[in-house]
Structure 1
Amino acid sequence: MESWLKQYGASGLDDLELADFSNTGRGVRTLRRFEEGGKILTIPHGVLWTVKHAYADPVLGPALLSARPPLSVDDTLATYILFVRSRGSGYDGLGSHVAALPASYTSSIFFAEAELEICAGTSLYTTTKQLDRQIEADYKELVVRLFGRHQELFPCDKFTIEDYKWALCTVWSRAMDFKLGNGDSIRLLAPFADMLNHSPKVEQCHIYDVLSGNLSILAGKDYEPGDQVLINYGPVPNNRLLRLYGFVVPSNPNDSYDLVLATHPMAPFFEQKHKLWVSAGLDSTSTVSLTLTDPLPSSILRYLRIQRLNESDLAGMVSHKSDAAFEKVSDSNEVEVLRFLVESISSLLDGFKNQLEKLEDQLAEGFYTPEGNAWSAAHVSLGEQRVLRLTRKTAEDLLAAVETGSGNKRRLLSTPAQCAKCKKVSVHLMRCGRCNEVTYCGRACQVAHFKEHKAICRATAAKNGSKKD
């Protein structure tokens, strides 16, 4: 592969070599010293794998052009890779690059069911299940739109669904994405450069030159001869690393959980609330990323404040021409939002098959084979649970502050209690601010129960010496 790349003008290859490393597997080793920021490698545009190059192929291009609607970027690149592999190592030099690719991948779609079950409850688990179904549907459509119509180019035994999954993982794990000056983006695979492994400890150092179309790799740190050359894929959480690249980073500081907020169109006052969500930069279905550095983004509170608005709240906003910033609507709205959030996060955490403490003990005791699929799945579950627990703690702290400041003696109970109106049992109830005896799940139940509770409340308050009217 190196000699073929040199023919096309690749530079820097004499100072590098492919090598196997104990912690990352196959990678690139430097043969000389490099200072941070220095250019290590340049791959010319003529040998990059792009959609444009796929369409320019004299044999494959016409078949791709016949597909209607056109294939997606990933399907085009995956088909290109499989086509070159089916033609053998001599196909325009590209075959030597394909021959150097891994024979298999450790992305989550290749996990055995028992391995994936380790992280049941995580977003990765759900996404992987959905992805499996999507890949199967996409493959069947690809057969109808392209493979089946050009069987002489796409022999059945070399374009199976397993081949398709392998090619997709090649694209996901090795492609690089760049923004272009006109606002568009380009996805490409760069021979040899795609052998570079990831490390969060180096600066991002891969550059695409829009004018020349060449890809360059700079030194993300100082290197000595024999060091592995690394690049930084960016702040990627473990659930994404394992899904796309097939590895995880223990104690990944970029771990996250994507929280989906949704409201049914038949919910009361949906149209009014939808307008408010849009004006707040949201939608009726919004996905917000929870992270270790920002476990409770303000957009979540904005969404839920709007979702919990009642008729009088909405009327007040119209009469006062209030916007949708919603730093806070009212104490009652804030308490309802935060209680709902605490309960929802608790429910999500209860859905994890293996709880955080158990996984920590198992990993510390060497229960899982290091770097194995189950070990990686355990780290994904750990990361997502840590984020969710931090989110819940943040919501609980905000709730306590609102309850303390509201003067209504609202607080989380130490043991489960029953709402005096709807009979719901929970620890997330509020006590009556007058008598401090009965509990409610929210302001609506308290108001609805007031006529029944009024006489007893006043008597109890008087007995306890309350000064409230």
Structure 2
Amino acid sequence: MVIFAPTLIPNSQLPRHSMASSYLRGSSFPSTLLSTSRRSSIPSTFYFPLLPIRNARRRNRLLACAADTLLAGARREDWSRGTKGSEAVDLKSWLVRQGLPPCKVVLQERHFHDGKHRPIHYVAASEDLQEGDVAFSVPNSLVVTLERVLGDETVAELLTTNKLSELACLALYLMYEKKQGKKSFWYPFIQELDRQRGRGQLAVESPLLWSEDELAYLDGSPTRAEVLGREEGIKREYNELDTVWFMAGSLFKQYPFDIPTEAFSFEIFKQAFVAVQSCVVHLQNVSLARRFALVPLGPPLLAYKSNCKAMLKVDQDVVQLVVDRPYKAGDAIVVWCGPQPNSRLLLNYGFVDEDNPYDRLVIEASLNTEDPQYQEKRIVAQRNGKLAVQVFHVYVGREKEAIADMLPYLRLGYVSDPSEMHSVISSQGPICHVSPCMERAVLDQLVGYFQARLSSYPTTLSEDEAIVADWQLNPKKRVAARLVSLEKKMLNACTRATIELIELLPDHTAWLVSCLSNMVLLPQKYVSLELEHLEANQPALPRHAERDSKNCHQLFLPGPYKLVSAFMFLSRFQ
């Protein structure tokens, strides 16, 4: 009975005849389990059995946030210039003139230490508020939706179920409106969006607008690949703009000669798109054409929090905010940002929430399609609610539960004996029994996986925490360091949870002696080295042992112990 060795090898070097039970894929793992250089180059794809991770899931069409300008050909404003004192009330004054009911909020400015950018505005309580108070109500006539933009709900629904997203439609509309300048009804609102530049309350734009050097702050994090994937999605949206222009009669009548891709460059569209993403509100219990809305006094003027319950809701002819906590006059008002992980909060809104209960890691596992028992394993996985390619979410604070959820799936990949496979098929529930030796191999693989992800970051956790604490550094660098530090803490928690399970296994020296006693492919001198290391707690095996073991991919073991990997036994001590 044979299982091929679970080793980390590039995709291009994976033998076609490999029968590892499942593969691990990821674009941010080092070429060895423990790299000697944390800044070494990283191949695009790696394999080892079980647990693949894909850093960018490109089917997500909520693509971006943050912007500088909404007008094609417009020169970027010098944000370091001072602002007129009256500008802070321009938006609210316009809203009052257009019928905004009396409200309990004001717009205030938040300044930043570097002085390189204009202050951002935020919504604050104008008086003391209690839980349940209505902070403000915005009439539907002052809310931008697809129903208003396109003038026909049927057309709106057609567009949003086709190739173009609601956000792209809204971005196109605002670009056309800004082209009218002060003649546009929405000029004060668009002017406010320009001022905010899509920045979150940490004064940081979405990574979609960062330079290549600034994106390097995210090295090692899956978020960097997500940025690239989202930018490709925005490009696809841009290529469909002419279609919506022809289909949307209201836009066509107003701008019959302004074909979108000729009037606006991709860069301008991307800036507009991410500006819309930073402030769009997902309304509940409304028609499809009204579910995505731009609400003056809403985000980005409202600050987001992950542990908040307040939301903008439709109440008859208005969109209103009912606060979920007491506020003192002058306090910034916060709303719930939805159940989003920190990586998405950064992409969409330019901030990271350290108290985010929805923060998570994504681990994607797949069964090996070349495994002779693949079909049987796929059936067993589906019977227990899992797929041949399965995504596992590891939520912050619940790492142990996530490991426990993954283990039955991982053990399934190690089953090779037909009689054991038959037993698994006939059993009920997700339990897949394996020997202590094989259980150790599964757990070692998990530890190696988490260590590989940690070693792909160019900085240590202590270095990240020092960056976060230094308020004089670039805000983008600080928010990126906050994101990767939280990712590392979750990976460390996963590692500790897995090691705790290893410590519950029978004494490793005893079972390792039993497992290795009749080994035929691994040179005996390395068996001795391994046992000596376990008994004497020596720091490491010789490097030549690691090199030579690459030629010994299989270990034939007696009795209930199946073939296990030389890599599993050797790499843990490198």
TM-score by length of 1: 0.77
- Separation of aligned partners in 2, 1:12 and 1:445: 77
1:231 aligned residue: 335
Map 1:7-406 onto structure 2 (within 5 A): 10-13=100-103, 15-22=104-111, 25-56=120-151, 69-91=162-184, 93-103=185-195, 104-105=197-198, 106-139=205-238, 141-143=239-241, 145-146=243-244, 152-154=257-259, 156=261, 158-180=263-285, 186-200=291-305, 203-209=308-314, 212=316, 214-234=318-338, 236-249=340-353, 254-296=358-400, 297=402, 298-312=404-418, 313-318=420-425, 321-326=426-431, 330-364=435-469, 366=470, 369-370=472-473, 372-404=475-507
Give the conservation status (yes or no) of the 8 Å contact 1:64–1:146: no
Q: Are residues 1:445 and 2:548 paired?
A: no
The structural deviation recorded for 1:124 is 0.8
Identity of aligned residues (%): 19
- Assess if the C-alpha contact under 8 Å between 2:147 and 2:156 holds in 1: no
1:334 Cα deviation after fit: 2.9
Change (3 A) 1:223 1:404: same
C-alpha spacing 1:360/1:286, structure 2 compared with 1 (3 Å):
same
Residue by residue over 1:162-219, the C-alpha shift from the partner in whole angstroms, topping out at 9 and shown as x without a partner, is 222122212322122244389999332212222443354863211423x626322122
> For residues 344 and 145 of structure 1, what CA distance do their matches in structure 2 show?
45
Amino acid at match of 1:110: L
Structure 1's 274 and 299: CA in aligned 2 closer, same or farther, altered over 3 A?
Answer: same
Q: Note the C-alpha offset of 1:252.
A: 5.5
Shift of 1:278: 2.2
Please say if residues 176 and 188 of structure 1, whose CA atoms lie closer than 8 Å, have aligned partners that are also in contact.
yes
Change (3 A) 1:42 1:307: farther
CA distance in 2, matches of 1:378, 1:147: 41
Moved more, 339-348 or 157-166: 157-166
1:277, 1:284 within 8 Å by CA — same for their partners in 2?
A: yes
TM-fit CA distance, 1:357: 2.7
Counterpart amino acid of 1:314? M
Deviation at 1:81, TM superposition (A): 2.5
Aligned CA distance change for structure 1 residues 332 and 165 (closer, same or farther; 3 Å):
same
Amino acid at match of 2:406: I
Distance (whole Å) between structure 2 residues aligned to residue 396 and residue 218 of structure 1: 46
Structure 1: tracts of 5 or more residues without a match: 412-418, 452-469
5 Å-filtered alignment, 1:409-424, equals: 421=521
**Partner residue, 2:6:** none
* Change over 3 Å in CA distance of 1:154–1:397 after alignment to 2: same
CA distance in 2, matches of 1:425, 1:48: 75
**Contact 2:364/2:391 (8 A) holds in 1:** yes
Check 1:201–1:265 CA distance in 2 against 1; reply closer, same or farther (3 A cut).
Answer: closer
Pick 1 or 2: higher relative contact order, CA cutoff 8 A, min separation 6.
Answer: 2
In 1, distance between residues paired with 2:320 and 2:267? 33
Runs of 5+ unmatched residues, structure 2? 1-90, 113-118, 199-204, 537-544, 562-574
Cα RMSD of the aligned pairs, angstroms, is: 4.3
Letter in 1 for 2:393: S
Cα shift readout 1:72-117 (whole Å, capped 9, x = no counterpart): 22222222322322233443x3333222113534101111112211
AA at the equivalent of 1:302: P
My pick for the range that moved more, 33-42 or 63-72, is 63-72
1:2 maps to what in 2?
Answer: 92
Contact 2:437 2:511 in 1 (8 A): no
TM-score, L = length of structure 2:
0.64
> What displacement does 1:245 show?
0.5
- Per the alignment, residue 73 of structure 2 pairs with none
In 1: Cα distance, 2:382 partner to 2:172 partner: 39
Question: Letter of the aligned partner of 1:387 in structure 2?
Answer: M
* Cα displacement (A) at 1:146: 4.2
What do the CA deviations read for 1:298-346 (whole angstroms, capped 9, x no partner)? 332233223333243321123xx22342275553443232121111111
Note the C-alpha offset of 1:226.
2.0
- Residue aligned with 2:399, SS: coil
Q: How far, CA to CA, are the matches of 1:241 and 1:424 in structure 2?
A: 53
Name the SS of the counterpart of 1:99 in structure 2.
helix
1:291 Cα deviation from its structure 2 partner: 2.7
Quote the residue 1:464 is aligned against.
none
